[in-house]
Structure 1
């Protein structure tokens, strides 16, 4: 079981086997991390989403596509619960991390970079989102050896670092 590390930076610039996209159910791109990954990955990511997920993806599930122009090999897309819209089942958030690691194992990925799933526009409280990420990553049996949790800003990086060291 890998020990997650906090990294401040841009998830689209991570040199890892797989980056995780906090996608929406439609799997056609969106805002936040989703929009950034689609913009940086280019049209190949959207084409693969349309081909592989014609009916979208369920909340809590994960699947993969090409990474297109990103420096990673794959994008693992997962759909987090929308806290702001009343989706408050923490098991769905935990499932995002577990399923993403399972997909990474299927791909043979040795390194992966996660955003804090559901903690942006979906409104999940950031400290609990970080706790769900850290606890799940530590608990899942996986062949992935290196796990990064990417924070775009200093405050989120400090929060993730605190959660990693205090749990």
Structure 2
């Protein structure tokens, strides 16, 4: 059984087998979590991302999919990059947000990761409401068969932590 834990803090400071990156489709870094992971992880992550773009993901990583690279200088073995959906009030994209979590766990299982740290995917620049994102993330992780022993949601600020804490009960 997978243990779910919540931590308020900086995902780039976590010790885990794998850290999930809320990436943009280019895989080449960006703002928010993506930029922080690339900055703290160093050039090895970007180098592997460039290789992925030159081979399998020439048009970028599709929304809802996940792929792994080295973790570079992070205290992890791997970074699992996943592209969350941009929130829309006129189109239900919940399935894509759920897919980010399922696909990240699938990749983690392929790698043999036992501890995985997730951010609050799509809740920053992609404007997904925190409570809804927390519900989707937690339900998906609870209902996805995996060999991962601990899923840790690392939440940058108190409002994100509170939203996840309200849903984890």
Shorter-normalised TM range: over 0.9
Q: Of 145, 154, 157, which residue of structure 2 is paired with 1:153?
A: 157
Q: What are the ranges of 5 or more consecutive residues in structure 2 without an aligned counterpart?
A: none
**Helix, strand or coil at the partner of 2:163:** helix
Partner of 2:14: 14
1:40 aligns with 2:44: no
Q: How far 1:88 sits from its partner (Å)? A: 4.0
Partner of 1:80: 84
Q: Is the 8 A contact 1:81 1:87 kept in 2?
A: no
**Helix, strand or coil at the partner of 1:59:** coil
Partner of 1:111: 115
Give TM-score, length-normalised by structure 1: 0.95
Q: How far 1:3 sits from its partner (Å)? A: 3.2
CA distance in 1, matches of 2:90, 2:77: 34
**Helix, strand or coil at the partner of 1:131:** helix
Q: Once structures 1 and 2 are overlaid, which stretch shifts more, 133-142 or 82-91?
A: 82-91
CA distance in 1, matches of 2:92, 2:44: 33
Q: What are the ranges of 5 or more consecutive residues in structure 1 without an aligned counterpart?
A: none
Q: Is the 8 A contact 1:66 1:74 kept in 2?
A: yes
CA distance in 1, matches of 2:166, 2:47: 38
1:35 to 1:142, Cα distance in 2 relative to 1, 3 A: same
Q: Aligned residues, how many?
A: 165
1:118 to 1:87, Cα distance in 2 relative to 1, 3 A: farther
**Helix, strand or coil at the partner of 1:81:** coil
RMSD of the alignment, in Å?
1.4
